[in-house]
Structure 1
């Protein structure tokens, strides 16, 4: 495996997932750290998170992939401070001229006008409501949401329009918005998915450095379900040879916390994610690195990743089948495989604007 051209000193990236800032695949130039020959102690500057505001012109992203159960989504942020080393969204930062490595975690973009644009798009004549997915690319409840509150604004609009929404997150900050989510849930307008990758706090901190620990995420499930918000526990991603022994335990913990459904996704290593992941794996778990990568290649026809629809999320072959079978058995035993009620679309309405003529009926 090729080593990184632009590694970042360990002391400078404390609490981060990636170890490098290699150029993206669209860049014609790259930078490489080199010693200047002077034996003079230099201060190591800690990598800080920088957020740039982007005035979005549209906010709904439309897709037609046949293996994804939604056709529209919202991404309040580009990049994610959570720093999950396995995040399949990392390659998107290359389109911005930034590194899918450390830049993905530290050079973020927020869309402060997201709520305004969303209200405009939902008000268009002929708009047909279907559930909007949020959190399928980067996490809407990553730490910067505390200050920027983009997700909060989006939820306020969805509540006003009585529009259905499905949320995926690892962030416990979702509890902050229970004043919006609980009333929406009472009308059948929201479902939340909480991702629990492992129950091991040490492994979680290494793999997902700025994500709330496993116990905190289970507490978030309890808080949500206690307020009447339906929650799906997501065993995602499953890492063969590293986290797959925990499948049954994660499902049991999720069910005990109140989750009423579950799903799973195999580890995905598209483009720049693969070298970042392999570097992390050899650094933290060198004794298992070869086994993990061998299993992944077996599941993807000898490649590190196969983007073919219906195979990219689950893989194929004996090991993928065993994981799927184990998950199905555990979910059935725990009652997590029952059909869930579809989110309602019949309550949708465009709220009146100031100055509009109100209906008498």
Structure 2
């Protein structure tokens, strides 16, 4: 019996499934992970990159294995029953490859949410790993104790209800915030500068030094909006970022600006395209083929929300954010 953490949309969990990406490859058509990896390497220009272990962990899930899914301030736990399927409609949420899981639920059928505050520090810290999935075998004993407690004592209906309401309020806030940003009803300065200033502040919160670059840097299409770097005792990270304040769909122009920018040949860096809009599959493929990482609108508001307590008062005002207690009923 294995235990893994996997990130998956709550809408997929509600159907007693977990989902994984790689929309060009139907995992259910293959007998083993080796064949899946070979197919991915064939279908994707950049192949699997460093995702080999993640693919193997997901594909090799078997009946009886334990799955832990991080939720807002909570986790969901389920037992794999092993049935694989594929749903192309879930490609946008990187969840098209599916495995059936029996999730623990409350007496009224809702996904049971176990509060993160009830977990040990080590277990809770592991949930913060920014990977699609990771092994939790080191915490199998703790997870088994939680399962035994659920089966013996039943679900804590009140706490699950409160966590559900918190999650619903958070999702509504993120949706409303993204709508405000894309429709121009915030007080961010116009012309894209306000969004660049917000991205810069978020980078600084996460320990980067960041500088917004002057416009019209070159006579050709190449352009960078923000350069950021973070150096500590053990590592160095340099980011070249193009920021687009768009609604609906971002085109390829920003990607082409990044693709054309090659001024730092003596420095290792990551190129990032950050947009408040969405992107087509063709654009995402173009980004992947050119080693450009992408943050679309839903990912961007997640980033804002994760750092909301550290944003300056002025920035919160510009976004129209007020912080008052909310009474749940």
TM-score, normalized by length of structure 2?
0.23
Is the helix fraction higher in 1 or 2?
A: 2
| Higher relative contact order structure (alpha carbons within 8 Å, sequence separation ≥ 6) | 1
